[in-house]
Structures are given as structure tokens and as C-alpha cells.
Amino acid sequence: MKGTFWLAWRQQRTAVVIGAVLLAACAAWVAFRRADMTAWLDSHHIGAGLCKGWDPEECQKAGVDVDALHRMLGDYGDSLRALGSLSAALPVIIGVFWGAPLVGRELESGTWKLALTQGVGVRRLFASRFALAAACALVGSVVLAGLVAWWWSPVSNMLDGLYWHDGFIFNATGPAAVACALFGLVAGTAAGVLLRRTLPAMGTALVAIAGLRLLLNTFRSDWISPAVRISQGTAPREYVGSAWSTGDFGFVRADGSLFPDPSICPVYSSDPTTPPMGRCMTEHGFTGRYHKVFPVGDFWAFQWIETAVYLGVAAVLFAGICVVLRRRPI
């Protein structure tokens, strides 16, 4: 290692080493806790595929002690949520404490001028520094997201535990978590380059990263159309299971159209004048009931959509950084 890469390593090695040590400690802790959890599951004969969804009936049919399982999920749930929160917060940590000072501190203090007197171009110096930071952000986010997914997998979508659409899981695992970490680094770096002051750049990066994530969380259910589950007649609606319920349900007319007001024919009513649901459905011409959900398989569709958004915005910001560094005198 020599030249600009050696300089980039010298300037960032403290952050890299501290991050590696913390990541190794986190991996050791996760391995210990997961081993303890899987030992409990094995001792209670709870294998993969059992107790999925909110209904404990299947668990009880398999002879599982549901109360004990609830307690176990509660005991490990807080730790798993803490790890998921750390992984979800990693893009903010990277953007605020690594990306913003990456170039912003140099521009603020004027130390870039010294480097440029050594015959090194500004773009080459930036490329070396950013490449090292991006590699570390990529590795760190992949490892942390993998740890969350690995620990969660034995109890995924189980009873009152964590489900795939929970923020502790969705925002902390998969390609979107990695793409968000890279976006965080680019957003912080862009703020440092444009503002040329470290503290304002850190605040701007925080707002940008948190704002985009909040925006995606808010409109996530609008990316794709949910599946419509239909039950004929007065048969109970299909159990939600591991799916993500939209809360949109109602009745189906004879022509196949949907009537989104379930209160018109309630299943149960304390009013003695209210007709039974079956008779009410017949009077209104309803042939069945429906419920809109996102199946568990939609996890990957949502993940790849948000990955594309993060990487697309990051690419635009990175292009802006290159333009600024090329045209603005240091």
C-alpha cells in the first residue's frame, strides 16, 4: 500500500480498527445468544416451520408449550430488537460520523491544500479516501445484516415475535440495509463537500438519511399491489399467517367486485335486530369475503425496490460530488 491509498489508510485506520473490533464483539455475542436460543428450541422440539403466524393452534396441535414459547420469544426479543436497531441505525452512524468528516473536515481546515502540493490531483485523493470508506461500509453492513438474519431465522414470523415486515427486521437485513449504508456514506460525504464545514454537514446528513428512510417506510405498502384472499360464502377468512395484513377487508359481490365495508354485515352483533351475517350477505348480494395481504414472499420485492431507490439517490449524489470537486477550487 502506497501513495494516496496509504494516506487514506493512515487517516481512517482508527475508525476501521474500532469498527472491526466492535463488529467482532457483536458477532461473538450473537453466536452465544443464538446457540442458547436454538438449544431451547431443540429441547422443546420446535423445528423449522412450526408455530408460524399469530395463531397458536398449530403449535398446540404439535404438543408445543405455547406459554413457554411466548416467554422465550420475550426473553430473546429485546436483544434481537437491539441488534436490529443497531443494523438499521448503521447508515446514520456511517453518514454522520464517517461520511460528513471524510472530506468536509479537510475542506474546513484547509489541509487539502498541503496534499495537492505533492502533485496529487483532488479527484485521485478523494477516490482513494472514499473507496476505503465505501469498502468498510459495505463489509460492515453486510456482516451486521447477516447477523440479524442469522439470529432471527429460527424464530422468524413466529407467534408474537418479530415478522419480516417489522422495521427491526426489514430495515436491518437484506440488500436494502446494505444499500442504505452506502447511501448514508455518500449523503454524508456530499454534505461535507457542499457545506465545507463538519458540524453542519453532520446535521444535514442525519436529516437526509433519516428523511429518506422515513419516506420509504411510509410508502412501502404502495410499491406493489397486495394479494386478495377470498373466502366463499360465510366461511372464515383465510388465516393471515406470516403475511402482512393491509387492514383492508370486506365483502365480494356476485360480479366479483369488492365492497370495502365489513361493518354492513358484522360477524357478531349485540343488537338483536341485526340479521345473521349469512342472511345479511344474501340480502346485499354478497357471495364471499375478502382480505388484502402482502405474502411473506413480497419481502424480496420490497427489498429490491428500496435497494434501487437508495442506490439511485446515492449515484446522483456521487455524481454531484464529482462535479463539485472538478469545478470548485479547493
> Does pLDDT of 309 surpass 90?
yes
290 and 155 assigned to the same domain: no
pLDDT at 251: 93
| Domain presence at residue 230 | no
136 and 252 assigned to the same domain: no
Give the model confidence (pLDDT) of 215-264 as tens digits: 999 999 999 999 999 999 888 878 888 999 998 999 999 999 999 988 88
Q: Are strands 286-294 and 258-259 parallel, antiparallel or unpaired?
A: unpaired
Give the model confidence (pLDDT) of 144-199 as tens digits: 999 999 999 999 999 988 999 999 999 999 999 999 999 999 999 999 999 989 99
Mean pLDDT confidence for 63-91? 92
151 and 278 assigned to the same domain: no
| Domain presence at residue 314 | yes
pTM above 0.85, yes or no: yes
Supply the DSSP symbol for 272.
Answer: T
Supply the DSSP symbol for 292.
Answer: E
> Does pLDDT of 330 surpass 70?
no
Which residue did the predictor score with more confidence, 77 or 110? 77
| Domain presence at residue 219 | yes
Residues making up the chain, counted from first to last: 330
- Structural domains in the chain (count): 2
102 and 210 assigned to the same domain: yes
pLDDT at 328: 59
> Does pLDDT of 3 surpass 70?
no
Of the listed ranges 47-56, 151-160, 198-207, the one predicted with least confidence? 47-56
- Domain assignment of residue 277, given as a range: 244-294
pLDDT at 257: 93
Closest by CA to 23, choosing from 197, 168, 142, 157, is 142
| Domain presence at residue 59 | yes
| Domain presence at residue 233 | no
pLDDT at 298: 96
Determine the 3-state secondary structure of 172 from DSSP: coil
306 and 287 assigned to the same domain: no
What are the C-alpha distances in Å from 82 to residues 79, 165, 302? 5, 16, 23
258 and 148 assigned to the same domain: no
207 and 61 assigned to the same domain: yes
pLDDT at 45: 84
Q: How far is CA 238 from the centre of its chain?
A: 27
38 and 78 assigned to the same domain: yes
| pLDDT more than 70, % of the chain | 90
Q: Are strands 227-232 and 258-259 parallel, antiparallel or unpaired?
A: unpaired
Give the model confidence (pLDDT) of 269-292 as tens digits: 666 666 788 888 998 999 999 999
H helical segments located in the chain: 3-43, 57-61, 66-94, 100-109, 112-116, 122-152, 167-170, 174-195, 198-219, 277-284, 298-327
Give the contacts of 224 (CB within 8 A, at least 6 positions apart): 294, 298, 301, 302, 305
- The Cα–Cα gap between 64 and 42 comes to 11
57 and 169 assigned to the same domain: yes
259 and 273 assigned to the same domain: yes
> Does pLDDT of 329 surpass 70?
no
149 and 284 assigned to the same domain: no
| Domain presence at residue 71 | yes
| Domain presence at residue 235 | no
Contact 242, 225 (CB under 8 A): no
| pLDDT more than 90, % of the chain | 60
What are the C-alpha distances in Å from 201 to residues 21, 137, 288? 27, 19, 56
Contact 259, 250 (CB under 8 A): yes
Of the listed ranges 5-9, 123-127, 132-136, 139-143, the one predicted with least confidence? 5-9
| Domain presence at residue 238 | no
65 and 150 assigned to the same domain: yes
